[in-house]
Amino acid sequence: MINVPKGTKDMLPSESHKWQAIERAAKKVTSLYNVKQIRTPVFEHAELFLRSIGDSTDIVNKEMYIFEDKGGRKMALRPEGTAGVVRSVLENNICESVPQKLYYIESVYRYEQPQAGRYREHHQFGAEFFGSELPCFEIELLSMAHMFLREIGFNDLRLRINSIGCDKCRAEFNKALREFLASVNDKICGDCKRRAEQNPLRTLDCKVPSCREVYKAAPRLNDYLCDDCKAHHAQVLKGLDAAGIKYFADENLVRGLDYYTRTVFEFCDGDLAVLGGGRYDGLCEQLGGKHTPCVGFGCGIERLIAAAETRGIEFDDSAPKVFVAAQCDAARAECACLTEKLRAVGISAESDLMNKSLKAQFKYADRQGFLYVLTVGEGELQSGVFNVKRMADGSVTAFDRAALVDGIKRLVG
Ligand code: HAM
């Protein structure tokens, strides 16, 4: 017996309605915001992720699935969605005219220690907006994220938001942070010692409790923001106020990817981020394109479902409508024919595929949640009058053959 790989999960049929409800909500809000879908390959050249996410991040350093293909190329399963989308946008000149607003729903791979809400394969609904450096770009994106979360039924996820500044102000901050890290070098973990050298901002993202304690005394990024970054951040917060989106301005939020500039944010369920993102004004240029300011987010679908379940949020699970039951073998051909006629007018329908007895067919229809059963036997074939039983209360409605399909259509609504 071969089992599912560690850190991965099957999406079982009993769960499929939840995934479909989330995809429906994503498609609804993206359509309302005029955001078009994009799909990119599940694997890319590994270098794309090194150059975008950053080679000193945990995602690239510890968690990437890297492999050499038969042609000796170094490839990687995507550990996130943004890099592939930016690569495609540049390669296909999609940013010739801006703004461009794109979304995706895709699987993502990170070799993590599996635990609640942390998988080696997870799925993201993500959005990437290209072209504007104005604070209204963040507000457009966050309003869409907010509407998506509300559409599913969330009204209490905490939005944490911060500015990590631009290259200019971060250089000043990094200098101060490096000095601080040197002074506490004996109190921080091995990873942080490495981060202190390569990319000091990453230390503030460390999950080790003793490091977190030490960093309470670290210099504060917000004290180093330049005037432009400060003004931008203030405008974003003002825009959120105007949009009626509650937030918590959290100076400790830095996020785990290197491409961010200025705004970073997360919608959280307790300590766990369900949806996270920010602005990344330098990434297009970094990957060989022209300067294009961008904002984006990724929302973890597994975490979203888990958070919905703890809140008792229900996902629509539309029941199949009509089971067409054969009372005798002579009726089976007619059942198949009627089933197709119902489907042709948009009613979900099924008939027996297993030569089951009538009793067993009713049992199946009941277990599958069919709302109605139409029974066809010799009597019905001769009289041309058909009974449709409503499973919820056993009430029966009779239709003449000529009015059957239309009648059922009215009945099921
Ligand atoms: P991220 O914060 O690494 O950002 O991931 C986005 C979301 O994916 C997280 O908030 C979380 O819900 C989910 N997630 C991440 N890792 C796991 C995991 N191991 N298991 C389950 N769920 C997980 C990004 O990926 C950026 N690309 C977001 C972005 C788009 N920024 C700008 N544009």
Lowest mean pLDDT among 54-58, 127-131, 327-331, 345-349: 54-58
Identity of the residue numbered 235:
Q
How many CB atoms are located within 10 Å of the residue 220 CB?
A: 12
Can you say how many angstroms the Cα of residue 236 is from the centroid of all Cα atoms in its chain?
24
Q: Is residue 408 exposed (0-12), middle (13-18) or buried (19+ Cβ within 10 Å)?
A: buried
How close is the Cα of 69 to the center of ligand 1, in Å? 26
Q: What angle do CA 399, 405, 407 make, to 5 degrees?
A: 50
The arithmetic mean of pLDDT across residues 158-179, rounded, is 94
| Cβ partners under 8 Å of residue 321, min gap 6 | 342, 347, 348, 349, 370, 371, 372, 412
**32-50 per-position pLDDT tens digit:** 999 999 999 999 999 999 9
Q: Residue 33's CB: how many other CB atoms inside 10 A?
A: 17
Q: Which of 60, 78, 111, 124 to mutate to test the pocket of ligand 1 (most atoms within 8 A of CB)?
A: 124
CA–centroid distance, residue 81 to ligand 1 (Å): 9
Please work out whether the CB of residue 303 comes within 6 Å of at least one atom of ligand 1: yes
Nearest to 145 by CA among 162, 160, 166: 160
Are the C-beta atoms of residues 331 and 348 closer than 8 Å to each other? no
100 within 8 A of 94, measured Cβ to Cβ = yes
pLDDT average, residue stretch 166-176: 92
* Contacts of 375 by beta carbon, 8 Å cutoff, 6+ apart: 325, 327, 358, 386, 387, 389
Tell me if 188 sits within 8 A of 196, measured CB to CB: yes
Cβ–ligand 1 contact at 126 (below 6 Å) = yes
Q: What is the reported pLDDT for 207?
A: 84
From residue 295, alpha-carbon distances to 15, 61, 66, 139, 176 in Å are 31, 24, 27, 10, 28
- Picking from 261, 182, 276, 259, the residue whose alpha carbon sits closest to that of residue 225 is 261
pLDDT score at 68 = 98
Instruction: State the average pLDDT for the chain.
Output: 96
The protein residue whose alpha carbon is closest to atom 2 in ligand 1 is 276
- The reply to whether omega before 135 is within 30° of 0 (cis) is no
**Phi then psi dihedrals of residue 398, to 5 deg:** -105, 140
> Which residue, judged by its Cα, is nearest atom 20 of ligand 1?
118
Inter-axis angle of helices 16-32 and 301-310, nearest 10: 110
244: left (phi over 0), alpha (psi -120 to 50) or beta: left
Cα gap 323→287, rounded to integer Å = 56
Residue 200 Cα to ligand 1 midpoint, Å, equals: 21
pLDDT of residue 78: 98
Q: Answer yes or no: is the C-beta of 203 below 6 A from any ligand 1 atom.
A: no
**Overall average pLDDT of the 95-111 stretch:** 97
Q: What percent of the chain has pLDDT over 90?
A: 93
Tell whether ligand 1 has an atom less than 6 A from the beta carbon of residue 188. Answer: no
Structural domains in the chain, sorted by start: 16-166+243-310 (3.30.930.10), 168-225 (no CATH), 322-412 (3.40.50.800)
Report the nearest-CA residue for atom 22 of ligand 1.
300
Instruction: Identify which of 122, 160, 260, 263 to mutate to test ligand 1's pocket (most ligand atoms within 8 A of the CB).
Output: 122
Kindly give the number of the ligand 1 atom that is closest to the alpha carbon of 296: 33
Tens digits of per-residue pLDDT, 191-233?
999 889 888 988 988 889 999 999 999 999 999 999 999 999 9
**pLDDT grade for 56, boundaries at 50, 70 and 90:** confident
- Taking CA atoms, 69 is separated from 74, 81, 109, in Å, by 7, 21, 17
Residue 67, pLDDT above cutoff 90: yes
Is there a contact between 365 and 325 (Cβ–Cβ < 8 Å)? Answer: yes
In the numeric block, which tokens belong to residue 123? 């799925």
Q: Give the mean pLDDT of 139-143.
A: 98
Q: Is the CB of 389 under 6 A from ligand 1?
A: no
Instruction: Calculate mean pLDDT across residues 396-410.
Output: 96
Q: Whose CA is nearest to atom 13 of ligand 1?
A: 300
Tell me the C-alpha distance between 73 and 352, whole Å: 52
Ligand 1 geometric centre to CA of 238 (Å): 26
Q: What is the pTM of this model?
A: 0.94
Which DSSP letter does residue 353 get? S
Residues paired with 108 in a beta bridge: 122
Please report the sign of the dihedral spanned by the C-alpha atoms of residue 285, residue 289, residue 291, residue 297: negative
pLDDT of residue 209: 93
Spatial CB neighbours of 64, under 8 Å, sequence gap ≥ 6? 46, 49, 76, 77, 79, 109, 110, 111
Q: List strand residue ranges (DSSP E) for 66-139, in order.
A: 66-68, 74-77, 100-109, 121-130
Tally the C-alpha atoms within 13 A of residue 259's C-alpha that lie toward its C-beta.
Answer: 30
Ligand 1 in contact with 104 (CB < 6 A)? Answer: no
Q: What is the CA(244)–ligand 1 centre distance, in A? A: 25
Residue whose Cα lies nearest atom 30 of ligand 1: it is 297
Residue 299 Cα to ligand 1 midpoint, Å, equals: 6
| Share of residues in the chain with pLDDT > 70 (%) | 100
Is the shortest distance between the CB of 298 and ligand 1 below 6 Å?
yes
Q: Return the residue whose CA atom lies nearest to atom 26 of ligand 1.
A: 298
pLDDT digits (tens, 9 = 90+) for 355-399: 999 999 999 999 999 999 999 999 999 999 999 999 999 999 999
Q: For residues 169 and 150, what is the distance between their CA atoms, to the nearest angstrom?
A: 35
Asked if residue 57 has its Cβ within 6 Å of ligand 1, the reply is no
- Statement: residue 314 has pLDDT above 90: yes
